[in-house]
Amino acid sequence: MRRINSLLWLFLSLIPPTVKSIKAENYALLVGINDYQHDIGSLKYCIADVVAFRKALIETASFKAEHVHLMTDRMSGQDLPTRINVIMRLDILASQVQAEDTFIFYFSGHGISTNDQPFLLATDSNATTSTTLELSAIPLEKVNKILSKIKAQQLLTIIDACRNDPSSGRGNQDNLLSDNFARGFKVRRQAGTLGKPAVSATLYACSVGERAYEWSEKKQGVFSYYLIQGLNGDAANAEGEVTITGLAGYTQRKVMDWAQTYRGKKQTPWLSLQGGAKLVLSNNVSQVIQSSMVFTNTTKVTTNIADPETEMWELVKDSTKPEEIEGFLALFPNGKLVGVAKLKLKQLMTPALASSQIKIDEKSIILAAQLDAQNNVNGSMWMCGGCATGPLGIAWAYLVEPSPPSGILVGKSPEYARIYTASYKSEAKRIQKSKSLYGCIGTGLVYAAFYVLGLAAIASDTAY
């Protein structure tokens, strides 16, 4: 008998991990920031958004409470969402989450782009200068690196970071989602280790050139309110499943209607989906091991919603990004919309058409060029030139044509290069002329002072 038990134990130990029963876990990190420590405008409902989402995950989606980590500016210690704490918590979770698990990262607060670098603003971020911003904010590049190494089979990132202008005193002005910020999220994950492709999705509260609105009556952001309503069952299909494409489509329709009705403007949530598997938020627990992101919801809702391929196409059909159309084709290689998707991709890959469809954020380019010119032009040198040579220094400042540093426009579009170069030259020329003029005036004042003192001394000697 002992020998049989030994053989049985040896047999079980040789079973591959993928054959054994896998217990998948769900994890989430939810960050909400209303008030900032430095000169950054406050928000109203970011904390309410993540608290309500946490409740939905635990009560409706059966997440374990200890696996749903909440960080808000009303907390303290390691739960206070400072730059270091958020990066540390993400890094710790990245090492804990296993290949069969699901992970959600939800950020609700301010986001900003400067000098082509996008950031999430932590509670201790300081946006006074570009240097203080870089030292205190959370770079999207860093978030990407951490999320890219997470082994979770399903990864969902939710970004609600474009509400009011983060500059203090400008809280009523729009903080529009820039193309640079949206492109900042580029999570590149390895293939799944369980014999199926890993699935990644990023859901944004609004599209490029738009802002996200808050709903004072509900004391929540409009995006988060409908996101949670959809998760709780309003976005379920006829089989009782809530897919990520179905949830995004439901949220998009509801938010667009609200923004048009109550603000007369546009807010269009949009989804970026990578991976070859269908990502499902479902009430069918048995589908967890197959390739589904499962949120257990015992209430079966019957609604009439289009099939997943049509839902996904509705989200990406107006995109100007070839990678999103390629992602659609990877998801539905034999679908009924393959032909039209390939045609759309061919059009986007045509340089002339693609360049005409890319929206240039002209204000951001001009600001970046001006800041670079201010950092690169040696104002002291031009002032000294004005002091030493007088009018000749001013003339020289008018004649010298400044140009951007070599390499700074590598990889940029012709339109970007045109706007940047013109703005850089204009700002650099302004600095040259003003500094040389100040130097010349300063020298003139010094000479005038000596002349007056000399006349006074002569007059004094004559009097004696």
Q: What is the pLDDT of residues 52-78, one digit of tens each?
A: 999 988 887 778 999 999 999 999 999
- Residue 203 in contact with residue 157, Cβ under 8 Å? yes
Residue among 105, 115, 1, 129 at smallest CA distance from 54: 105
- Residue 377 in contact with residue 402, Cβ under 8 Å? yes
Cα gap 74→34, rounded to integer Å:
9
| Pairwise pLDDT comparison (37 vs 336), residue with the higher score | 37
CA angle 140, 417, 119 (to 5 degrees): 15
- Residue 65 in contact with residue 128, Cβ under 8 Å? no
> What mean pLDDT comes out for the span 16-26?
60
**pLDDT tier at 357, thresholds 50, 70, 90:** very low
Q: Is pLDDT of 398 > 90?
A: no
Which run of H or E residues covers position 69?
A: strand 68-72
Query: Which residues neighbour 198 within 8 Å (Cβ) at sequence distance 6 or greater?
Result: 152, 153, 154, 155, 189, 190, 191, 192, 275, 277
Lowest mean pLDDT, pick from 219-223, 227-231, 347-351: 347-351
Which run of H or E residues covers position 455?
A: helix 414-463
How confident is the model at residue 311, as a pLDDT? 62
pLDDT digits (tens, 9 = 90+) for 171-186: 445 556 666 566 666 6
* pTM across the whole model: 0.58
**pLDDT tier at 337, thresholds 50, 70, 90:** confident
Q: Is pLDDT of 10 > 60?
A: no
- Residue 383 in contact with residue 367, Cβ under 8 Å? no
- Residue 124 in contact with residue 83, Cβ under 8 Å? yes
> What mean pLDDT comes out for the span 212-228?
92
- Residue 69 in contact with residue 81, Cβ under 8 Å? no
Residue among 363, 410, 367 at smallest CA distance from 178: 363
Whats the size of the chain, residue-wise? Answer: 464
Q: How would you class 6 by CB atoms within 10 Å of its CB: exposed for 0-12, middle for 13-18, buried for 19 or more?
A: exposed
**pLDDT tier at 23, thresholds 50, 70, 90:** confident
What domains are there in the chain, each with its CATH number?
Answer: 22-316 (3.40.50.1460), 320-359 (no CATH), 362-458 (no CATH)
Query: Which residues neighbour 140 within 8 Å (Cβ) at sequence distance 6 or greater?
Result: 118, 119, 120, 181, 184, 185
Q: Is pLDDT of 300 > 70?
A: no
How confident is the model at residue 416, as a pLDDT? 80
Q: Is pLDDT of 188 > 50?
A: yes
How confident is the model at residue 341, as a pLDDT? 85
pLDDT digits (tens, 9 = 90+) for 241-259: 777 788 888 899 999 999 9
